[in-house]
Amino acid sequence: MKKLCPNCEELLKPTSNSGVGQCSGCGWSGHYWRAAKEPSLPTVTPKMPYVSIDIETTGLDPETCQILEIGAVWDDWTKPINELPVYHRLVYHKEYRGSAYALAMNTNLLRHLSGQREPWWRDPDQVADDFAAWLKGCGWDGQTGLTPAGKNFASFDRQFLKRLPRFEQVVRLHHRTLDPAVLFLRPEDEKLPDSKTCYERAGLDGKVAHTAMEDALAVVRLVRTGIKRLKD
């Protein structure tokens, strides 16, 4: 259930009526079906575009495990979230290796990849040029360092992506990463909040999808919600 105030997009708090919430910001109260479905565009358009990237892999070790799925969303702050350009590819390998847990969690992806090859599949050595071409179609000039966004992108996703052939030479990502966790940090936190906590604090569904496309879109929702709540 979405829980954003339709007026100011602050989090709706539960009331004695299970179908009614009250805004923690402006005090609005009403039925949850009237809540905002997604954060609207900021009044002042941010100048920095970014690309939200998420991957699914066969395990945690980038030296031995492989990328199975890549999802990305280009956000230049000019469109509603459901109109933003998206990139979704499965990465085909002749053999798959990884941890038992990750392989089991991605059973559906592996079953799909074992079937007839689809047009949106890419071999590892095709991903860099394919992803760069999509970014250029979104408006990237091919030279400027793009800001990547994602939960744990620098420590996890990037470590896998940079091992794809020519990826770092073709796709120029800035070394600074936009992690939405900092937008939902509270004074009492002893560490950065995880994805589930961020979603709850943003008033979004708290479930972590564990699909590359849905998780990339969730980061965009978190960034847009968090940016609008920053105070001067």
The amino acid present at 92, given as its one-letter code, is Y
Q: Cα-flanking dihedrals φ and ψ of residue 48, to 5°?
A: -95, 110
pLDDT digits (tens, 9 = 90+) for 199-229: 888 877 656 667 899 999 999 999 998 887 7
Q: Would you kindly state where each structural domain of the chain is located, as residue ranges?
A: 1-37, 50-228
* Separation between Cα atoms, residue 224 and residue 232, nearest integer Å: 16
Distances 147 to 74, 140, 195 between C-alpha atoms, Å? 10, 11, 20
**CB–CB of 224/180 below 8 Å?**
no
The dihedral over CA atoms of 132, 135, 136, 142, expressed in degrees to the nearest 10, equals: -60
Stated pTM of the model: 0.85
pLDDT digits (tens, 9 = 90+) for 10-53: 778 888 888 888 887 788 888 887 787 677 777 788 899 999 99
**CB–CB of 124/164 below 8 Å?**
yes
Domain 50-228: CATH architecture, name and number where available:
2-Layer Sandwich (3.30)
